[in-house]
Amino acid sequence: MNAVESRPELRGAVYRGDAAAILSVLGGLDPAQCLQLGGDGLLIALAQDTSGATQTAQTWVAGLGTRLAR
């Protein structure tokens, strides 16, 4: 699923506060594809102490660091 197809699904999951769905969608996206919405979703998942949230957040931070280093 690409970012265009994933964005409505991610937006709905963020709206519902569905951390498991958020992490599922974020796992297949590059941070640059939906930075603001992805960050909002990660905050929800981290606040709910959802399994995998910390690892996903670390992956996103590393991806952003790589992008900024270019």
How many whole angstroms separate alpha carbon 70 and alpha carbon 56? 22
Consecutive 10-residue runs of the chain (70 residues): their mean pLDDT? 82 97 92 89 97 94 76
Q: What is the pTM of this model?
A: 0.87
34 near 10, Cβ under 8 Å? yes
**Total number of domains constituting the chain:** 1
How high is the pLDDT of residue 33?
83
Cβ neighbours of 19 (radius 10 Å): 22
Question: What domain range is 17 assigned to?
Answer: 3-69
